[in-house]
Each structure stands twice: as C-alpha cells, then as structure tokens.
Chain A
Amino acid sequence: MTANGWLQIAVFFLVILALTKPLGIFMEKLFEGRGTRLDPLLRPIERGIYRFCGIREDREQRWTEYAISLLVFSAVTLLVTYLIQRLQGWLPLNPQGLGTAHAAQGAAAMTPDLAFNTAVSFTTNTNWQSYVPETTMSYLTQMLALATHNFFSAAAGIAVAIALVRGFARHSAEAIGNFWVDLVRATVYVLLPLSVAGALLLVSQGVIQNFHGYTAATTLEGGAQTIAQGPVASQEAVKMLGTNGGGFFNANSAHPFENPTPLSNLLETLFIFLIPAGLTYTFGRMVKDTRQGWALFAAMSVLFFAGVLVTYASEQAGNPMLAGLGVQSQASASQPGGNMEGKEARFGIPASALFAVVTTDASCGAVNSMHDSFTPLGGLVPLINIELGEVIFGGVGAGLYGMLMFAILAVFIAGLMVGRTPEYLGKKIEQKEVKMVMLAVLTLAASILLFSGAGAIIQFAKNSWVNPPGPAVANLNNGGPHGLSEILYAYSSGTGNNGSAFAGLNANTPWFNTTIAVAMWVGRFLMIIPLLAVAGSLARKKVVPASAGTLPTHGSLFVGLLVAVVVIVGALTFFPALALGPLVEHLLMQQHKLFSMVMFGWWS
C-alpha cells in the first residue's frame, strides 16, 4: 500500500464528510415540506406533476396505503419496462437495429426471461445485468426503460427511508407521509438537479453523450474497430447518484466512455455515497437530535474503513503465483504492481479497491474493476458488504432504513442483556417491531443461502430448456472454491439489490434469470414492507421520556454495539458459506493450487 493510495481514500472520505450536513439539511427541509432554495425553479414542475396525476399534496397515508402505492407504482413501471424491451425493434432511437431482423452480427436476442429479469432488476434498484448492453439494448430502451428506473427506484428508496424516520419522529400519529409526494420530491429536487450537474461534469472528462450510430474506425494497424456510442453521461450520473449501478456498457464504470479519467472516477465514487451519507443527517434533523444521525454515520464509517483496509491490502499484495512467473508485484513510481487482472491502468489498485468497497457498501453495484478477478480476500469484502445488508451508507434510502433496522436490533439485544424494555429515540421497541425486523433479516438470508445451495447442486436434464443440460455449475467461469463464490455472489447481489457480479457466471439462461429475479423481488419488497409496518407502528406510539435507565444511542458505546450487531448477525449467517468459498480459496492460493473448470462428459 502506498501513501498516495491512502491520500486518495482520505480525500474521498473528507469530501463525503463535508457534504453530509448541507445535503442533509436540504433533504430535511424538502421532505418536511418547509421549502427549499430550489423552489422558484422546481416548485411549478412539482405542482404540474401533482395536477396531472391527481395527487393531493396535503393528504397523508397510513403505512398500509403508503406500501400499496409503492407496490402499485412498482408494478406499473415494471410492466412498462418489460414491454419497451420486448418491442424495442419497432421503436425509434435504435441506430444499430437491435431486436430487428437487420441487426448487426453479434447482436443478442431479447428473450422473455431476459426482459423479465432486467425489468425486475431495474425496478428493485438492483441493476443486475444478464445482458451485454451494447449488443442488446437500444438507446431508447436504455433511456426510457432502464434509466427512468434509476430515478424511480432510488426515489422510492428515499421515500421509504423518510417514512420510517417519520415513524420515529412522530407520536400518536396514524399517517407516515404521502408516497407520491415523497417520490416526486425525491425525483425532482434531489436526483434530477444532481444528475444534470453530475452528467455535465462527467462529459467534461470524456464521458460520451450522443445519439450517433456506432462509429466505424480503421485502426493504426489497418484493422476495423466498431466503437459503441450512445447517451451515456445522462445515465451514468443517475446510475451512481441513485446507487443503481446498471452500466450503459458491459464493462460498466471500467469502460473508458463511462469513466475516462481518475477524476471522473473520484466523482463517480463520491456520487455513490453522497445521498446515503446526507440522509444520516436528514435523519438526525428529523428526530430533533443530530447526534443520532452522526452515530449512524460513525458506525458506517468504521465498517467502511475496515473494508477498504482489507481489500486494498489484499489487492496490492497480489497473486503469489504471478509473482512466481516473474511478474512485478511491488508498486513503484512507474507501475502499479499488485493484482491488476481485471483492473484499469488509469485507476490502479487503490482507486479500484476503494470503488469496489464503496459500490458494495452501498447497494450500487457499478464496478470499475472486475470483482471476479480479485484476490480471494479482496473479493470477500464486497461479498460480505452485500450480505451484511448494504448498510454501510448503503443504497439511497435503503442504507438508512437498513441501518435503522439494525439499530432496533441493537437496542433490543442491549435490552435483553439488562432486562429492560428497549427504547430507541423515545419509542418503546416491542414485540411487533422486533418480529418485523427479524422477518426481514431472515428472509434475506434464506433467499441468498437457499438459492445458492440449489445453484450449486442442481442438474438439468438432457432436453432441458431452462438451462443447458448438465449441472448448473457448468455455467461458471471458474472451478474450485472460486466457482462457489461466483454462485454465492450472484444470489447475494440479487437479494441485496446490489447488481455487481462475479461476472464469469453465465446468468443469461431462463433458470438463472428467473431465480435471480425472484431473489431481487424478495430482497426489495420483503424488506420494505416489514419496515413500513414498523414505521406505522412506531408513529402510533407515545414518546417515553428518557430516564436514567435509557441506553443513550448517540455515544461511542452504542456505535460499538451497532457495529457488533451488524457484524455478528452477518457472520453467524454467512460464515459457513464464506468458509467454503473465498476463505478456503485464499489458503489454496497461498499453496499455489490451481483449478480448471470441471467438465462432466455425459451430456456433451
């Protein structure tokens, strides 16, 4: 590890720290309806949308109605996205003719299971991509079917987080806000202005933004090169700001047209954490005690730095087997050293390790390097980050409501230890809240582990149409323990709504498309609905005044407890699976063990 590497990491963190308060205040004013500085410009647009949709701004909803609005909106947008994908061959803004008879060679088919998987993926803020965008998706599909969800699913996540915080902030109340109002405000005031500014900053660095057909170039050696084009910057900005992560190109933020310079890379990394960090301050303001928000921020920061340390150290240490072949593994002033397989020269090791940790701390899932090629411990951190529930700053909204879920669990466990009814922010945490929280925790774990288990052992018959015949593990790109990591990562990423991948797995088959889609749906809505129920239940309660027996939840004791609960719940659930995957691979790598893809001969 180098001093310059740590400087990049420190600058990243300090910028996030500096922006947390101003953005947090802005969002608090916005969602409490107290007016913002952008009102003169955006208030007319907001009102126009309410009028068109028939939304009554002053009418609030109980938690059940709030949840139904969210589900109905998700269902409608899901259907629209599915249809646009299937019909893209007949729609405009498709210069490559994708989905038509005259598509270029190498263009991929938009099958029903792929369109379904992708629609679920973008609706749930996952952005898992079973397809290669540049050979599959027209410009119109990318803009109107996919990038719209980058706004909607992010805005919905913010809405749910705000609703949960209202549950803590209010007392003896029935309503937790109006979903439609929260959705529109998050889109119009937060995501859109940041995206316009962010997109232009990215274009200044070289991110493309055009509607040209793919460019035919004649290379210096006289070869032909087809260069994919498209409206990339507009999608790139919201892809990061909304912690979506769905790349315009297959290589995602590693593609030079998505992320051309080290500065664009820093901006994209910052965009991921910007809103989630700001929301911790919004939370503090809404519950009238900003120390509560900083406590969550502190717990998140501890876990963030632990992850960066492990991944950066492992990636810089590199692969001992390559060093044995005469490859330079030490960094120097003129070359990066370390594990550069699947990394870009302009980013090097530290900026790639930082990005991998940030994108999985949050539920972003954009990648600027290929996680599948990370060292075992370097790749373990992204996997664990996802499995811990992406609560380290987390997805926009999703990170805050996820961490609040763990906070409820933490005070509950503390309450058990001293034999007192637990309280958090003046609200008694009772049976119902703990049941709902545990429902969410257990559902997510079950989805990850059961699907991964099935994927590791299932076999397909000779005439199977859901997957090529033979074992599902034949879809892998790597053998041995790394193969298990590929499957485990796929279902963790799906359930956690992350969307990054150990991308060697060929997941574009009906079996994987459908099961991962189910995992994404479960991971999104079986977390949101229980938490909205918690919000409704909390809002109804009276405030208990703090007494000598109340556990303060703004100090370092609580921060430590919260970190411990997150780690222990994750470790208890996933350690056995991780031991069979990345941990054993690390030991085997040290002994120079190699694995081929096992070929089972009987079906081929």
Chain B
Amino acid sequence: MWKQWITAIRATVVLSLLTGLLYPALVTGLARVLFPRQAGGSLITVNGKVAGSELIGQKFTRQEYFRGRPSAAGDGYDAANSGGSNLGPTSRKLIERVQADAAAFRRENPDFHGPIPADLLTASASGLDPHISPASAEAQAARVARARRAPEEQVRRLIAARTEGRQLGFLGEPRVNVLLLNMDLDRAWPANRPR
C-alpha cells in the first residue's frame, strides 16, 4: 500500500512535467515558428498601436459604424471577461431586451423594413463575436451611408467584399467581420471618420 503512494507521487511528478510543462512549451515553440501571427492573437496594429484583434469583436455605438451583436461580456465586449447572457427562452428580461433593441434599431434605421435578422438582436455566446450575418450588415447599410455622407451603393460594395462564405464551401455560416468592415469605411471615407 505504501509502495502505491510512492509510485503515485513519482508518476504525478514525471507526468506533470511532461504534460504540464514540456508539452505546452513544445506547442508554443512550434506555433511561434509555424503560425506566429495566429499564436499571438491575430492582432491588428494601426500606426504602431494595437487597435484590437481580428478575432475579437469591439463595441460600436456611433451611427457611422456598423454595430456588432449585443454582448453580455462585462459591460459589453470585455475581452478579459467573456460570456453569454444565459437568459432562457421564457425569461422576461430577454424578451424585454429584444423588444427595446428592436425598437431602437427601427428608430435608427428607418429605411429598413421587414423582420430584423435574428443575430442582430441576440447576444452571442462569447460576448466577443466579431461577426454579424450579411443580412445584418445590409440592414444597416443605409444608415451608415447617410452618416458617412457616402453613396449607399459603395457601402454595400464594401459589405460584399468583406462577406466571407462558408469555410470549405459548407462549414459554418456566411458572415461579415464588423471590425474589419468598419476599418474599410474609415479607409474609404477618412474625412468622415468619427472623432
């Protein structure tokens, strides 16, 4: 019996070193050589300053930018505190939130008619979802164009260029990266960039 404890302690030491230190160190080394950008978080730098990550959504509130999805991470898109709303389908809080957001959306986008795409009114699982559906981007195109004093046609062309199809043709959903799309807007109409 005593011998079992000695074996257990030794096995814990050697297997912990192997799987808890050597293994992550090996993966880190290989990742840094093979995929340095991805391993570091796919960061975007603007003028030498980190402006965010391509994979992590940001909070957008201004009319001149496309909005992302509602976020339950911290006080919205807190990338050090991820999470969803965890509201169930019969939660009064959920229904009232969607109702309020839907009303606000229709107020800000008077040119949009018809049902609002579901992803635009529902909180993502991570609270950091970088994407919206193409329909959700289209629904905001008229508003953004007006705020930017830009032709709507050109804004829609930016959306089309930023729309990613299903991966390998069948995986996941078509989507638009909101941060990258908004950076496209700033590049296309730098003068109308909000300050």
Contact = CB atoms under 8 A, between A and B. Distances in A.
Asked whether A and B interact, the reply is yes
A503 B183 contact: no
A166 to B, nearest CB: 20
Nearest to A214: B80
Listed residue (A76, A218, A344, A374) with the most chain B CB atoms within 10 angstroms of its CB: A344
A534 interface: no
Contacts of B85: 341-342, 370, 373
B79 A228 contact: yes
Interface in A298-344: 318-319, 321-323, 325-329, 332-344
Given A257-B55, A477-B86, A265 B98 contact: no
A229 to B, nearest CB: 6
A217 B16 contact: no
B170 A11 contact: yes
B82 interface: yes
A213 B51 CA distance: 16
A376 to B, nearest CB: 6
B22 to A, nearest CB: 10
Interface string A175-198: 000001001100110011001100
B172 A348 contact: yes
A80 interface: yes
B124 interface: yes
Contact of A7 (B30, B125, B170): B170
Interface residues of A, number: 139
Contacts, number: 421
Interface in A226-256: 226-229, 231, 233-235, 238, 249-251, 254-256
B89 A339 contact: yes
Interface string B119-138: 10111111111111111101
A231 B84 contact: no
A132 B79 CA distance: 12
B136 A69 contact: no
Contacts of A183: 11
A195 B58 CA distance: 32
A417 interface: no
A487 to B, nearest CB: 13
Contacts of A206: 38, 42, 54-55
25 contacts: A72-B5, A75-B8, A106-B74, A144-B20, A151-B19, A184-B11, A184-B15, A187-B15, A199-B27, A209-B28, A210-B32, A217-B43, A221-B61, A231-B28, A254-B82, A256-B130, A263-B172, A340-B118, A343-B125, A344-B125, A345-B119, A347-B173, A376-B89, A478-B88, A504-B86
Nearest 3 pairs between A and B by C-beta? Answer: A262-B172, A254-B125, A504-B86
Interface of A: 4, 7-8, 11, 45, 49, 52-55, 68-69, 72-73, 75-77, 80, 104, 106, 132, 134-135, 143-145, 147-148, 151-152, 180, 183-184, 187-188, 191-192, 195-196, 199-200, 203-212, 214-221, 223, 225-229, 231, 233-235, 238, 249-251, 254-257, 260-263, 265-266, 318-319, 321-323, 325-329, 332-348, 351-352, 367-370, 372-376, 379, 477-482, 485, 502-504, 585, 588-589, 593-596
